[in-house]
Amino acid sequence: MLTEVEPSTKLQLSVDSEFVAYARDQFIESTYLNCSFRAPVCPEGDRKPVDIVVVLDRSGSMAGSKLDLCKKTIQFLMGELSSQDRLGLVTYDTNVKTEFHLMKMNEKGKEETEGILQKIKAGSSTNLSGGLFHGIQEVQRQGWGFGFGFGLKGDKPNPVRSVLLLTDGEANKGITSTEKIVEVMKGTLEPNVSVFTFGYGSDHNVDMLREIADVGGGVYYFVQSVDGVSLAFADCLGGLLSVVAQSIKLECFGMNGCKIESIKTRKTTNDIVSNKHYEIEMGDLYGEEGRDVLIEVSMPTLPAENMEFVALECRLSYVNVLDSSLDKVEVCGVVQRLNEVPADQAPNSCVTQQRNRIIAVEALEQADEAAKKGRLDEGKIILQTALDRVTCNLKLLNEDDQTGSAGLIDDLKECRGSLASMSVYEKRGLRRMRAKVQSHWAQRSNDAEAEDEEELSKHRQISASTVGSSAFGYRNTKKMNMMTKSRFVPESARTMSIKIKRKALNRPDGRYNVLQYIAVDAVTDKEITMESWIRLISDPDSSDVARQMTDILKNAPYEAFRFETPGVSPNTLSLMSFEFVLVEDSYLASFGSTPDKDAFAEFLTSPSCNDGSKSAGCVFTNLGGDATLVAPRDWSPESSPSLYSSSYGHLANFVRGAPEEQVLKMWQTVGNVLKEKYLDHKLSSSEADTPKWFSTAGGGVAWFHFRLDSRPKYYHYVPYKAFVTKESFN
């Protein structure tokens, strides 16, 4: 009879060497060993109760949909908590208010919370420090409350405690210095209390939020889009509901004359005996997560061969949350020291992958530093060099590690694209880069711009060895599932009718890198027609559709791209699904880096385009008379005439660097043009059968513009050049 084996609740520790064997008669100046530990799965029934205090910005800039969606997200968070979990809420504008103290999320507690949330209104300034310190005080307070559903006096804190701080702006009341806020935190924050920060939009202080999260043992989330609020909170909550180990300490010892030359980590590292003994404070670990500490060592010469030479010893101690015990484990890094080393020995895949991670994250730091000083080209070179190195190392990796390095490559490409101009970098790039740097050093997910449901579904099917790896942003199964659930929250909080999602290319074009997207009904998941999309994008009350389109384009992994849609006629408008491709265009990236203000000057400076209203741009016919163009005006103010000028060379720069108001208005202008051409006037039978192609496919003018062409003369994506007739749908 087979006995069922209980799943392990312990951390698994291992040490891998870059190479199996080293010459025994040579001094090895530098090689790498990787100390790695992995967490078990956290079963739903075994997870420990949590105390969470949300610290919510209710300053004036949060009024409207931002605050409404945050309330919806807190409702979602509340719904995922059990009766043993406790939730508290602190809000702040100029003043700080504890909306409710830590309260058990039983039926009564959830009912109380619902009523309180409805009464929260936006206020004035941003006293971030006051909100944060009240939140920390609240989560560290014991024995709060006397009412039904509240914690009873004398209650012990739950094993997992965290503060979730959200803001959309700069701290302008209370303590506004990052250094002073961090100093207070270091003096007041108790062990095993974490702090996570959420920066909404492009006006918050990323360095302040990142440092607060670093000191608090959490991560910083950059939340640019509306959808990102619920996704970020879901990612964070999924982690907190799967904590398996806390107070993790890793000790590393150089053995048998080996010296520790460097340790590749940003965790607090205590130098016990220089080059010999170090202690690293590793924080906590979620189920299925892993941590890797890449250690550079030197090795002495040996008088004789040694098949089991111990170069490094690693000891791990931690609080086992699942077992409520203190656990320890130790392991040695063993190599062979031979008279003759095989010439064809390959480097260890795991160690090479971790070297790739360090190459990528250090390059991101260096490129960000260069960009901060205005040296964008230098930053691009740094990232390209790292890309080349990581790509070259792919052939040395096993399949799982190749998948992990693919995630690093995607991040390097995205960040290279964010250096297209200073406006792109300042609006978005610097926040994305700094969030990615923190994520890769911490090996913990913090991406609030995650994949759609189709991609998350794929992630849930991946092998256990790659869950929590860089391939999928270090996200574990609990986080993936929580993010999937959270997608229902924004749709109920808004009037949005559709969502845009990635579509697998049925006929990929091998000459270009191409991404394809399609619009579907948010409830039924059925494809949306071109006609429906035009009506929505032209409707001023459907701005969320324009925001979705903008977010998709902003997050594309290409520095520059062409936007192309299939050809449609008025007769096929209600039959053809709305889909589009983004075609990478490196020529456009350089060609459009210096926009040509004179390109459409006669139209953009004409009285009809400058009638006193703040129009997004102008509509006019091209010289050949066979296309209608929509081009944006330069919205740079008179006081700073070049503020946005670099944003108008091509579509990627426009959505990433132009004012959000202009980008959204531009979509509506385009929608009105399409509506007028296709829907708003009576057509002859021949006109109704005549197709047009909607794109940004013109490459001869260095000023971004949408086009509605009578033929696809500039298209790159071949399948869209063919027109699908009405008869083909029968």
Tokens for 373, please give them.
């000083």
Got the DSSP string for 463-507?
A: -TTTTTSGGGTT--HHHHHHHHHHTHHHHHHS---EEEEEE--SS
The answer to whether 250 and 279 are in contact (CB under 8 A) is: yes
CA distance 715 to 711: 9
Pairing of strands 28-38, 290-299: antiparallel
The three-state DSSP-derived secondary structure of 672-684 is HHHHHHHCCCCCC
CA angle, 242 as apex, 237 and 247 as ends, to 5°? 105
Angle between the 107-117 and 65-80 helix axes, to the nearest 10 degrees? 180
Q: Which residues neighbour 127 within 8 Å (Cβ) at sequence distance 6 or greater?
A: 92, 93, 94, 95, 96, 171, 173, 174
End-to-end CA distance of the chain: give it in Å, rounded.
Answer: 61
pTM of the model: 0.72
The per-residue pLDDT for 147 is 38
CB 564 within 8 A of CB 580: yes
Rounded distance, CA 215 to CA 210, Å? 9
Residue whose entry in the numeric block shows the structure tokens 């205005």? 374
The pLDDT of residue 388 is 96
Both structure tokens of 642: 């070049």
Q: What is the pLDDT of residue 640?
A: 81
d(C-alpha 407, C-alpha 538), whole Å = 36
Structure token digits, residue 613: 């209203």
Helix (H, G, I), strand (E, B) or coil at 144: coil
In whole angstroms, how far apart are CA 15 and each of 11, 235, 258, 576? 13, 30, 15, 56
Name residue 550's amino acid: T
List, in sequence order, every residue forming a beta bridge with 709; answer none if it has no partner: 627, 693
- Identify the pLDDT of residue 557: 85
Q: Tell me which residues of the chain have a pLDDT lower than 70.
A: 1-6, 142-154, 225-227, 450-472, 487-498, 504-511, 522-524, 541-542, 592, 608, 610-614, 681-682, 698-699, 729-730
Question: What does the alpha-carbon distance between residue 59 and residue 124 come to, in Å, rounded to a whole number?
Answer: 5
Residue with token string 């449609």: 568
Q: How far apart are CA 593 and CA 589, in angstroms?
A: 6
- Joined together, the tokens standing for residue 640 give 């700073």
What pLDDT was estimated at residue 258? Answer: 98
The residues, ordered by sequence, that sit 6+ positions from 63 with a Cβ below 8 Å of its Cβ are 122
Q: What is the pLDDT of residue 506?
A: 55
Dist. CA 421–CA 334, nearest whole Å: 49
Q: Which amino acid is at 452?
A: D
For residue 168, the model assigns a pLDDT of 87
557-588 burial: b if 16+ Cβ within 10 Å, else e: bbbbbbbbbbbbbbbbbebbbbbbbbbbbeeb
Of 372, 413, 367, give the one whose Cα is nearest residue 390: 413
- Model pLDDT, residue 610: 63
What sign for the dihedral angle of Cα 668, 420, 364, 563? Answer: positive
C-alpha distances out from residue 671 to 176, 631, 680, Å: 43, 13, 12
Report pLDDT for 20.
97
Q: How far is CA 657 from the centre of its chain?
A: 18
Q: Does an H or E element contain 362, and which?
A: helix 349-372
> Residue 620 is which amino acid?
F
Residue-level pLDDT at 229: 83
Domains delineated in the chain: 12-39+245-337 (2.60.40.740), 48-241 (3.40.50.410), 346-446 (1.20.120), 499-729 (no CATH)
- Calpha distance 12→183 (Å, rounded): 35
**pLDDT (0 to 100) of residue 499:** 73
